Amino acid sequence: MDSDFVPPSVSFQLPVIDFSDQNLKPGSSKWDEVKADVLKALEDYGCFEAFFDKLSVELNRSVFEAMEDLFELPIPTKQRNVSSKPFHGYLCHNLYESLGIDDANVLEKVNDFTQQLWPDHGNKSISETIHLFSEQLVELDLMVRRMIMESFGIENYIDEHLNSTYYLTRLMKYTSPPDDDDDDEETKLGLRSHTDKNIITILHQYQVDGLEVKTKDDKWIKVKPSQDSVLVMVGDSLCALLNGRLHSPYHRVIMTGKKTRYSTGLFSIPKTGVIIDSPEELVDKEHPRIFKPFEYTDFLHFFQTEAGRIAQSALHAFAAF
């Protein structure tokens, strides 16, 4: 049976880690406590749920309403959201539709995005909402990456590493599957099982569930939507940077029921020209170097080829020795 269609296991829950403590600053005892939980969760699952109270009820509502307005625009208008990078602009297939904003933590870049869609005068309130939301999630991404690098003793590289990446914010809409095809599993597939190719992904689902994550022993865990929590997940580029110390989990979206689903993703991504290679500190007799150094865009282009798409692990097919 195609592993896409093994039913999800309901009895598991991903680890939940609280990032809302005001005293969560590098060097504090709270920081070390949370850092240990992050490492354990990422070693076990490649992801965890983060409780993050900076996502207020009002901010969630504004993002949700912004997505409703954006996706209601005519398709030719949404198609003006273009990018030179693969998978970064407007995408639409089967139940899935999404818009992408590079550097959404920079207000002018979000203004450029809304200006593309509303050429007369952009959309100030939608720009500000997406910008604020992205900024908040960037804070979480930075904390998690700092914790990971400290955990593996490579904190010397933190500044260099953080300067080598940028952020993409993706807004996603999934329509409900046609009900006359109820027993055809393929029609419920919102997003096929995949690993993310970037560094860290932070996903948030709005009320309607559908996201599932695969465990190391091939069980699917359903991620429950929650107002103030998000899913933090390792991508292939981070796996490569850490010489395979953490893995990027397979995940997918399965749509059931009659509701339209909205979700958002913040993706930290290596900048063009940056070479992904593990530091010497992570290579020794017990941990020989697994991957050849590579550039992210080359990896993405490989993923677009037939060989990349059919590989069990595109990362291994592309970069393993």
Looking at the Cβ atoms of 105 and 263, the one nearer to ligand AKG is 263
DSSP 52: -
Partner in contact with 235, chosen from Fe ion, ligand AKG, none, beta carbon below 5 to 8 Å by kind: none
What Å distances lie between residue 61 and 73, 103, 118, 136, 211, CA to CA? Answer: 19, 22, 22, 15, 20
Closest CA to 145 of 234, 37, 27: 234
170 makes contact with ligand AKG (CB under 6 A): yes
| Cβ contact 144:232 at 8 Å | yes
Partner in contact with 254, chosen from ligand AKG, Fe ion, none, beta carbon below 5 to 8 Å by kind: none
* Binding segment toward Fe ion, per CB under 5 A, in 59-67, 117-125, 196-204, 256-264: 196-204
196 makes contact with Fe ion (CB under 5 A): yes
Ligand-binding annotation for 88, yes or no, is no
Buried b (16+ CB within 10 A) or exposed e, 208-219: bbbbbbbbeeee
198 makes contact with ligand AKG (CB under 6 A): no
263 makes contact with ligand AKG (CB under 6 A): yes
Q: Return the residue of 172, 189, 269, 290 that touches ligand AKG, per CB under 6 A.
A: 172
- Return d(Cα 311, Cα 52) in angstroms, integer: 35
Applying the rule CB under 6 A, the residues between 237 and 256 that interact with ligand AKG are: 251, 253
CB of 235 to Fe ion, least distance (A): 8
DSSP 225: P
CB of 69 to ligand AKG, least distance (A): 19
* Binding segment toward Fe ion, per CB under 5 A, in 41-49, 188-196, 238-246, 291-299: 188-196
| Diameter of the chain measured on Cα atoms | 61
Size of the site for Fe ion (CB under 5 A): 1
Cβ contacts of 302 within 8 Å, gap of 6 or more: 308, 314, 317, 318
Closest CA to 2 of 189, 233, 256, 216: 189
Q: Which residues are annotated as a binding site for 2-oxoglutarate?
A: 261
Which positions make up the binding site?
194, 196, 251, 261
Q: Which residues lie near ligand AKG (CB under 6 A)?
A: 170, 172, 191, 196, 203, 205, 211, 251, 253, 263, 265
